[in-house]
Amino acid sequence: MALQTLTQTKAIDGAFSLPVVCSTLCAEALGRHIQVCYGLDSLLSCKLWIKGLSDVYLVETREAKYVLRVSHAQWRCSNEIQFELAFLDHLRSQGVTVAAPRHTVDGSLFVAFSAPEGQRHGALFPFAPGEIPLCDLNLLQAGLLGQTLAQVHQGSQNFWEPCHRPALTLETLLHDSVDQLLPFFANQPGEQTYLGELRSRLQESLGDWNQTGPHWVVCWGDPHSGNAHFTETGGITLFDFDQCGYGWRVFDIAKFLQTSLRTGMSYSVRQAFLQGYESITPLEKWELSSLSDWVQVAHLWSWALRLNAKQLHSHSQFDQRYFNQRLHQLKSFTQHNWQLI
């Protein structure tokens, strides 16, 4: 059937017309287009900055710098993007320091592009003041990040948007992630068994939680020092809510801890982050006692997301050492010889 389809699409000159899964849009053409859509003056440049779950372009005018994020067709649909951008707009109205989207000249939150693989969507954000910490977060920065995350969760309590995106439930975070990982361990049945048993244990531990406030919020989804800019005067701006969605607030805490542990951040930084969060919103004891389990869920989800993105760009990274290293990190989160918080 596939060969027949290819034969049917053969061009006159002998070249086959093949499907595209992940195009790279011309930065120069993008710049000209968004200049019109957003009413930008004196456009200087538009450069592809990084490719990932979405493509990020750095846009510069004589007056300001912006970040243009273009989602991949298979990653986000228009409703999911509308949810995220409307949430950021809401947080801005609540006084939470986030990089909220700029509206187009006709009042839209995003623009659509016709690409070979399907429709893609772009959103323009102001370049957040300050910069990412060069090394480890200092204690003041960690505390400020925790406080601002608590403000995000509080601000979500009165948010409503008719468009939806998948919630960060155990079905999404745990079960879908393990299903995606298992085939990569086809030659290691013992590790497949481990992942299956871990999934069952985490489901039993976390599976009966209610999806009600104040514990059920809109999560940032990817809270870490690389997604926030800090200024020398003590300011902070959060950005990159591409992974946001309704979920349990403690998952966002665990996601920060998982990233911190994987990158070697100190115990004092993790503690300062949690103290900052609880200075705004104290957590329940049962939430704190569940953090170890949620850190493992966060690791599985982050791992599966990275696999999903990298399979479009670079299978060369998927050697057995990569999977063994990630699995070793996961197993280390079940041990009791390290301090989580």
For residue 6, is pLDDT > 80? no
Q: Please say whether the beta carbons of 84 and 244 come within 8 A.
A: yes
Pull the structure tokens for residue 83.
């949810």
Average pLDDT over residues 316-332: 88
DSSP 10: B
Tell whether the torsion through CA atoms of 4, 10, 14 and 20 is positive or negative.
Answer: negative
CB half-sphere exposure, 270, CA atoms < 13 A: 21
Read off the pLDDT of residues 179-196 as tens digits, 9 standing for 90 and up.
999 999 999 999 999 999
Assign 253 a pLDDT band (cuts: 50, 70, 90).
very high
Looking at this protein, which amino acid is placed at residue 102? R
Residue 193 to residue 215: CA distance in whole angstroms = 32
Read off the pLDDT of residues 48-78 as tens digits, 9 standing for 90 and up.
999 888 999 999 999 999 999 999 988 899 9
Residue 154 to residue 161: CA distance in whole angstroms = 16
Percentage of residues of the chain with pLDDT beyond 90: 81
For residue 12, is pLDDT > 60? no
Pull the structure tokens for residue 129.
């003041």
Residue 237 to residue 129: CA distance in whole angstroms = 7
Q: Which of 290, 304, 307 is CA-nearest to residue 251?
A: 290
Q: Where do you find CATH 3.90.1200.10 in the chain?
A: 139-332
Question: What is the CATH T-level fold of the domain 27-126, as seen in this structure?
Answer: Phosphorylase Kinase; domain 1 (3.30.200)
For residue 3, is pLDDT > 50? no
Q: What is the CATH number of domain 139-332?
A: 3.90.1200.10
Q: Where do you find CATH 3.30.200.20 in the chain?
A: 27-126
Count CB neighbours of 234 within 10 A. Answer: 10
Read off the pLDDT of residues 74-111 as tens digits, 9 standing for 90 and up.
889 999 999 999 999 999 999 999 999 999 999 999 99
- Residue whose token pair is 């063994």: 324
Assign 337 a pLDDT band (cuts: 50, 70, 90).
low
Which pLDDT does position 135 carry in this prediction?
Answer: 78
- pTM of the shown model: 0.92
